Amino acid sequence: MEIISLPDERIIGVRVAGKIEKADIDQVVRAIDAKREPGRKLRIYVEHESLDGISLEALAADVKLATAHVGDFDRKAVVSDKKWAQALVKVGDKLFPSIDVRHFTWAQKDEALAWLRH
């Protein structure tokens, strides 16, 4: 995973490629902590290039991250052409109804970023 620098201070950008380890999740937590401000909702932009799995430590850290920071976010855009990513977005949207989660294809990448900035 890598943090993507984006011009909007409300948006945390993440690129997923390879296997996700706990250090990757820790990096995302640091990015969230750096951008959190009282009264301001954050947004997350995720590019799924590939996923070669997730370690158990990373999965536990990701669940902890999601539950601890659910109130910090109001939108999430996932960019991927993978069918499983579309399915996960639907599940995430149901699990976290306070966050508007949408899936975009790579051809819709600019639309995803525009939606997050709106």
pLDDT tens digits for range 13-55: 999 999 999 999 999 999 999 999 998 999 999 999 888 889 9
Q: Using an 8 Å Cβ cutoff, are 116 and 79 in contact?
A: no
Domain at 57, CATH number: 3.30.750.24
pLDDT exceeding 90 applies to what percent of the chain? 65
The pTM for the full model equals 0.89
- Report the pLDDT value the prediction gives residue 96, as an integer from 0 to 100: 79
Lookup: tokens for 109: 């990448």
CA–CA dist 54, 58 (Å, integer)? 6
Strand pairing partners for 47? 15, 79
Tokens 């997730």 sit at which residue?
A: 54
Beta strands 100-104; 11-16: pairing state = unpaired
What value does the mean pLDDT of the chain take? Answer: 91
Tokens 């993978």 sit at which residue?
A: 82
> Of 10-24, 58-72, 102-116, where does mean pLDDT reach its minimum?
58-72
What would the mean pLDDT of 99-112 be, rounded to a whole number?
Answer: 94
Structural domain count of the chain? 1
For the chain, counts of helices (H) and of strands (E): 4, 5
- φ, ψ dihedrals at 53, nearest 5°: 115, 175
Strand pairing partners for 73? 42
> Of 68-72, 79-83, 86-90, where does mean pLDDT reach its minimum?
86-90
Domain of 74 in residue numbering reads as 2-117
Indicate if the pLDDT at residue 91 is higher than 80. Answer: yes
What are the CA-CA distances from residue 52 to residues 71, 86, 100, 106 (Å)? Answer: 29, 17, 26, 19
